[in-house]
Chain A
C-alpha cells in the first residue's frame, strides 16, 4: 500500500507540472496586448508600466517567467491583472458553490443511472427496457447549453416552480440552496444518467452470462439475491472507475458551462470570466486546481477499485 501511495503522489506531481507548463505556453503564444499595460490601467504612465513589468518579470525569459509565476502560485500571492484580486481567495470563495453543484449532480446521476440501468438489465428486451433505452439516448443526445435555457425558460419563467438563477450558500439558507441548485444539478446530471444506465445495463448483461452466476442459482439463491449480490455487485466495479473520471471532469470542466448558464459564482464561473479577459494568473490557478482535483479523485478511485476487486488488491491477477 505504501508503495502504491508513494507512486501515486509522484505521478500527481508530474501531472501537475506538465499541466502547468502546457497552460503557461499556450497563453504565451496567444496574441494579446501586453499584460503590464492592462495591469497599469487606462491612463498609466510609461514609468508605472515599466515598474509593473519588472515586478511581474514580463521582460524576463519564458522559463524565468514560469518560475516567477509558480512561486506566486505556491506562496498564494498570485493575483489577477485587473482588477488586482487574489486568485487564491477567489478560488476559495468559489469552491463551495462548485462542489455543491458537482457533488449534488454526481449523487443524482449515480443514483438515477444505477436504478434505471438495473431495471433495464433485469427486464432486458421488455417494454420497460425499451422505454428506458429511449430515455437514456435522449438524455445523452441533448447538449447542456440547450437543456439549461429550456429548463430555465419553462420551469422558472413560465411555471415559476424554481427560483431565478444564482447561488445561495447552504449556511445562509439550506432550503434556498436546494431549490436554487435543483435545475443546475439535473442539467449536469442528465447526460450522465443516460450514459451510466447504458453502461450498467451492458455490464450486467455480460455478468449474467458468467459461470459464477449460474453457480449462485444452483445454490438456490432467489433471483433478486442473484441479481444484487452477484450480478450488480460485480458490474459496479467498472462503474467506479468511470465515476471517478467523470466526477473529476465535472468539477474541473463541465461545471463551467452550467455555472455560467445559471449564474452560479463558482470556480467554473471564475474560469470563464478569466478566459474571456485572457488573464493568465487566474487561468493558471484554476487549471492547476482542476488538474489537482482530477488526479486526486483518480487516486481515490484506484484505492476504491482495489477494495472492490480482491484480485487487484493482492496484485496476483496475472496468475
Chain B
C-alpha cells in the first residue's frame, strides 16, 4: 500500500483551440478533449479506461505519453514529473512506456519484415545487435504465440490476430514497465479477442507489466482490469474496482453503457428488453 504508484495522473487537461479570424487567428473557443482527469495505476495492475468515440480516451493516452503536450496537469511516472519534458528528456523514459494500437493493419510498416519491426526498437536503443538481436526477437515472437520462422515474413502475410501479436512483441521488446493499449482488440473477431486478452494477461503475470487498457467495450475492459475509470465528454464520471463499477454503477452514463452491452443469452436478453419496454 505504501509503494508509490507507477503512473499518477492529476488534473490532466488537453484543450484544442478553435481558431477563427479573417486575417489574424484569434482563439474563439476550445474543444475540451480531456477536461481534468486524475487516476493512478499501482505497479503490476491494470486500469481500464472505458469510453465511447469522442469521450477523449485516446487523447488522454497521448497526453499521458507526452505524444501531445497537455494543456495543464501533472503526469508522474515512477514519481518523476514528465508533463512538459522535452523530446530529448523523454527519450530515456520512452523505452519504459510502450503503446499497442487498435489497428494492427495500419500500425505495422508493410515494407518491413517482422524481424525488423520487432527488432528496430532494440537496435535503436542499442540493446542488442547481430545474432544476439535475432535471437532475442525470435524469443519474443515465440513468447507472443508466433513462430521463430515468422522472422522473415511481411505483415500482410498474417491475419489480424497475428498482426496484433506482432504489435505486442514490438511493444515488449524493450521490457517496458508501462504498456498503454488503445483499443487493442476492437478490430478483431470475438474468438481472436479472447486469445489476445489471455496473452496480455499472461504477459502481465510474467513480466510484472502495468497496463492502461483503453477500450469502448466495457465487457472486455472488465475482464482484464483491476480498476475501471469511465470517461465521458473529457471527464471521468465513475472510477472504482472492476466489479464495483460493473455490478453497482453509480453514474447514469455508466448505467447506460452497461445496459447497452448485448447479453449473449437469448432468454435474459428477451427479459431485459421486455423489462425496458414495460419501464419506458
Whole-angstrom CA separation of A238 from B20 in the bound complex:
27
A271 to B162, CA, bound (A): 62
In the assembled complex, how far is the CB of residue A58 from the closest CB belonging to chain B, in whole angstroms? 38
Q: Does A3 contact B (CB under 8 A)?
A: yes
Chain A: interface size category: under 10
A6 to B24, CA, bound (A): 11
Taking CB atoms, residues of chain A closer than 8 Å to B21 are: 3
8 A Cβ contacts from A1-48 to B:
2-3, 6-7, 10
Interface of A, helix, strand, loop or mixed by DSSP: helix
Classify the secondary structure of B's interface with A. Answer: loop
CA distance A2 to B23 in the complex (A): 10
Q: How far is the CB of B145 from chain A (nearest CB, A)?
A: 32
Closest chain A residue to B54, Cβ basis: A319
Q: Are B23 and A10 in contact (CB under 8 A)?
A: yes
Question: CA–CA, A170 to B49, complex, Å?
Answer: 72
Asked if B22 is an interface residue, CB under 8 A from chain A, the answer is: yes
Enumerate chain A residues within 8 angstroms of B22, measured Cβ to Cβ: 2-3, 6-7
CB distance from B12 to the nearest CB of A (A): 22
Distance from B15 Cβ to chain A, minimum over Cβ atoms (Å): 16
Residues of A within 8 A of B23 (CB): 3, 6-7, 10
Q: Which residue of A has the minimal Cβ distance to B23?
A: A6
- How far, in angstroms, from A48 to B71 measured CA to CA in the complex? 69
Q: Contacts of A6 on B, CB cut-off 8 Å?
A: 22-23
Q: Using an 8 Å CB-CB cutoff, how does the interface string of A56-75 with B read, 1 for contact, 0 for none?
A: 00000000000000000000
**Contact flags (1/0) for B134-171 with A, using CB distance below 8 Å?**
00000000000000000000000000000000000000
Least Cβ–Cβ distance between A107 and chain B, in angstroms:
36
Give A2's nearest chain B residue, CB to CB: B22
Query: From residue B38, how far is it (CB to closest CB) to chain A in Å?
Result: 28
Q: How far apart are A319's CB and chain B's nearest CB, in angstroms?
A: 9
A6 and B23 alpha carbons, distance in the complex (Å): 7
A319 — nearest CB in chain B belongs to which residue?
B54
Chain B nearest CB: distance from A316 CB in Å? 12
| Whole-angstrom distance between the Cβ of A9 and the nearest chain B Cβ | 10
Give B31 Cβ to nearest chain A Cβ, in Å: 10
A209, chain B: closest CB distance, angstroms:
15
CA distance A3 to B22 in the complex (A): 4
Q: Which residues of B contact A7 (CB under 8 A)?
A: 22-23
Give the distance to chain B from A10, nearest Cβ to Cβ, in Å.
7
Instruction: Report the separation of the CA atoms of residues A3 and B19 in the bound assembly, to the nearest whole angstrom.
Output: 12
Residues of A within 8 A of B20 (CB): 3
Interface residues of B in 22-37 (CB under 8 A from A): 22-23
Chain B residue nearest to A9 (CB atoms) is B23
In the complex, which residue of chain A has the Cβ closest to the Cβ of B21?
A3
In the complex, given contacts A3-B22, A6-B23, A7-B23, what are 5 additional A-B residue pairs having Cβ atoms less than 8 angstroms apart? Answer: A2-B22, A3-B21, A6-B22, A7-B22, A10-B23
Return 10 A-B CB contacts under 8 Å, by A number: A2-B22, A3-B20, A3-B21, A3-B22, A3-B23, A6-B22, A6-B23, A7-B22, A7-B23, A10-B23
